[in-house]
Structure 1
């Protein structure tokens, strides 16, 4: 079968990307414009992400996927090949054709490129509306929550806001609930908001809400993140908001980005003029894989990658359990000489 035929099959599968994922990767879940799962073998986890929206072909096409832990990537035909244990392309194509012939009435909106583009636009619009409707951080339950995580530098954080009654829709179809939430703006390299991230909070702000999961993102995340400061020649990038803010407590002058997951950390886009990238790792398999992947990409782009590792699970664990002084000494030992004074005193 021709390469052209394979491309056409991949395009048709991309138009039903969510249905493909629900069928072949049922251990995953939909998060914003992506299907998140452990790996192409359908393991539980969050290191592999599949685009559910995007153009019909090329970079960012619907159905394209990456695994930040293994470094693998591909399209929906690769998922079908692996999940069905197929080796010959003819067999993969037959399975894809069989799937495409199945009815998927709950996903008919994905049957055309125009509807996919409209869905992506609606996600972005909803994300921006949510952020505009939220309040500034000071004096809110979101500030209470962040202080409960031992964070003290909470001024000048325009990317973070608070919503007192943010809707939460359970994935099992249960009734919609309202919980207070920390809202974060996800922006691209030009500062345009492409999405929002929600962390639902306990009603007294003492921790996260008892929800599964207590965090979700909406809009376009891939390559983007929650930004603290404007990057020039140096940038620090990590996974979680609290972990990144913990490093910011010690290094307030260092521009930072929270990519929100290990998968997205490995795909962060680099700003023009960047010379050095500090990569804030988490001490787990997915986090270590994301550090390796991002460091390799930075090196190939002519950027000096410098991994920074916590003593415990992540930098917020270090801050809460070991204390500010211990975190300060740990970071001072790991930074390039001169950078600690430059960014700690800014």
Structure 2
């Protein structure tokens, strides 16, 4: 099958995206213009979103797994959900599905049209974090994308766990009035991809900078040991504190899995995947970063994992990216990588 034929088949599936999702991702459910499920293998959960109707942001059938950064079209989803390896088998399965008669969709119960949680989630809880993330939208064309690009971060592949909320609540103090600001919502996930928390960065409406408020960032949910993840970790990964700093390092090494633990204390306590053999520590150049580095190196070595510290020239890697430029950032990081990873990741990044 040619690429054109495959594209046509994906488009045909996209025209029946909801029927495809109901057939292959029955553990999920419809949420507005998306089908929500745990992953492309039909695991119950809320991390993966499949677009059901074409919009200005993309065609129907495109999906993103916010927990892992995986994405694709409905052919990719059929491959994963059915456990297929050969593309010819994926095509055959898709054609079989398209030839099946379509049953009349069952009318949705009236309460489902305006479904609301029966009880409010406790403030700051993991459930509240999951609900906030589910209410947010992809970052393409939003002030989140503008904010990241204004900080020099343009490699946005695998960032499905970052989303945009146009009016995220912000309260200056316990007694002050509630305000709303645009916000970058980051999903905090465990090693299995389950959302345990969320991190909010309130932004100026045009994405030029953070919002002009006292507390510009705040996390919620169960954070200890977990992180905001970019890519799927295997034998090698990098971990740091801030989202912007980690994404800046990823500009230079775009194919290495990375994780942002959101603070020095949480970086020191981040959990290791069972497959991990080498951990790069994306260090911030301050006393808290030094303490996190020392704790993490000790924990990694105790677990039989090689730990290598990546140090910025200035305060952090985002400052390096913005003030020194991508070429200087790449040069600094290249000399700090282990030789096998230079061959593996640098050639991939070139």
TM-score (norm 2): 0.64
Report the counterpart of residue 262 of structure 2 in structure 1. Answer: 260
Separation (CA, whole Å) in 1 of partners of 2:345 and 2:141 = 27
Equivalent residues in 2 for 1:286-305 (5 A)? Answer: 286-305=288-307
Q: Give yes or no for contact 1:308–1:331 (8 Å, CA) kept in 2.
A: yes
The residue correspondences of 1:1-346 to structure 2 (distance < 5 A) are 119=122, 123-344=125-346, 345=348
Q: Distance in 1 between matches of 2:202 and 2:247?
A: 18
CA distance in 2, matches of 1:155, 1:269: 24
Contact 1:180–1:202 (CA under 8 A) maintained in structure 2:
yes
The answer for unaligned runs of 5 or more in structure 2 is: 1-120
Gaps in structure 1 of 5+ consecutive residues: 1-117
Aligned positions, number: 228
Distance 2:343 2:199 in 1: 32
SS at match of 1:185: strand
Q: What SS is found at the alignment partner of 1:154?
A: coil
Q: Which segment is superposed worse, 276-285 or 172-181?
A: 172-181
Q: Tell me which stretches of 4 or more aligned residues in structure 1 moved more than 3 Å.
A: none
Q: What is the CA–CA distance in structure 2 between the aligned matches of 1:338 and 1:302, rounded to whole Å?
A: 18
1:64-87 CA-partner distances (Å, limit 9, x unpaired): xxxxxxxxxxxxxxxxxxxxxxxx
Which secondary structure state, in structure 1, belongs to the residue aligned with residue 335 of structure 2? helix
Deviation per CA, 1:208-260: give whole Å up to 9, x if none: 01122100001000000000011110110000000000011111110000000
Query: CA deviation digits over 1:157-205, x for unaligned, max 9?
Result: 1110101100001225211000000010000011100001000001211
Distance 1:223 1:271 in 2: 11
How many Å apart are 1:340 and its aligned residue? 2.4
- TM-aligned CA deviation for residue 273 of structure 1: 1.7
CA distance in 1, matches of 2:243, 2:175: 28
Q: Distance in 1 between matches of 2:343 and 2:180?
A: 44
Query: CA–CA distance in 2 between the matches of 1:287 and 1:143?
Result: 27
Q: TM-score, normalised by structure 1?
A: 0.64
Alpha-carbon distance, 1:154 to partner? 1.4
Asked if 2 retains the 8 angstrom alpha-carbon contact of 1:251 and 1:340, the reply is no
Relative contact order: is structure 1 or structure 2 higher (C-alpha 8 Å, sep ≥ 6)? 1
Give the drift of 1:343.
1.8
2:122 touches 2:128 (CA, 8 Å); kept in 1? no
Contact between 2:158 and 2:231, CA under 8 Å: does it hold in 1?
Answer: no
